[in-house]
Amino acid sequence: MIFKKGELFCGPGGLTLGAKMAQVEKDGVVFKVEHAWANDYDEATCNTFRHNICPENPESVICGDVRKLDVASLPKIDAFAFGFPCNDYSIVGESKGLEGDYGPLYTYGIKVLNHHRPKWFIAENVGGLESANEGQAFIKILQEMEKAGYNITPHLYKFQEYGVPQSRHRIIIVGIRKDFGWTFKVPKAPFKDRDSWKNARQALECPPIEKDAFNNEFTMHQKKVIDMLNWIPPGGNAWSEEIPEHLRLNVKGAKLSNIYKRLHPKTPAYTVTGSGGGGTHMYHYKEPRALTNRERARLQTFPDDFEFLGGKESVRRQIGMAVPPDGAKVIVEAILKSFAGIEYETEAAKWEELLNDMLITGKSQKKKKSSPSRQVITQQREKEDIK
Chain residues in the site for ligand SAM (CB under 6 A) = 9-15, 39-42, 45, 65-67, 83, 85, 105, 124, 321-323, 387
Q: State the DSSP H helix or E strand holding residue 23, giving kind and residue range, or none if neither.
A: strand 23-26
The angle at the Cα of 163, spanning 157 to 164, to the nearest 5 degrees, equals: 75
Q: Which is nearer to ligand SAM, 9 or 214 (CB)?
A: 9
The CB-of-324 to ligand SAM minimum distance in angstroms stands at 8
The CB-of-141 to ligand SAM minimum distance in angstroms stands at 15
Q: Which is nearer to ligand SAM, 168 or 261 (CB)?
A: 168
DSSP 57: -
Distance CA 12, CA 50 (A): 9
The CB-of-97 to ligand SAM minimum distance in angstroms stands at 16
Facing residues of 8 across strands?
39, 82
The CB-of-101 to ligand SAM minimum distance in angstroms stands at 9
Closest CB to ligand SAM: residue number: 11
Q: Are 76 and 99 in contact (CB under 8 A)?
A: no
Distance CA 89, CA 268 (A): 25
Q: Are 160 and 193 in contact (CB under 8 A)?
A: no
Longest dimension (CA), the chain: 69
Distance CA 134, CA 132 (A): 5
Facing residues of 269 across strands?
166
Active site residue 86: yes
Q: Which is nearer to ligand SAM, 9 or 120 (CB)?
A: 9
Spot the catalytic one: 10, 54, 86, 206. Answer: 86
The CB-of-381 to ligand SAM minimum distance in angstroms stands at 19
Q: Are 293 and 312 in contact (CB under 8 A)?
A: yes
Q: Which is nearer to ligand SAM, 300 or 364 (CB)?
A: 300
Instruction: Indicate which residues carry an active-site annotation.
Output: 86
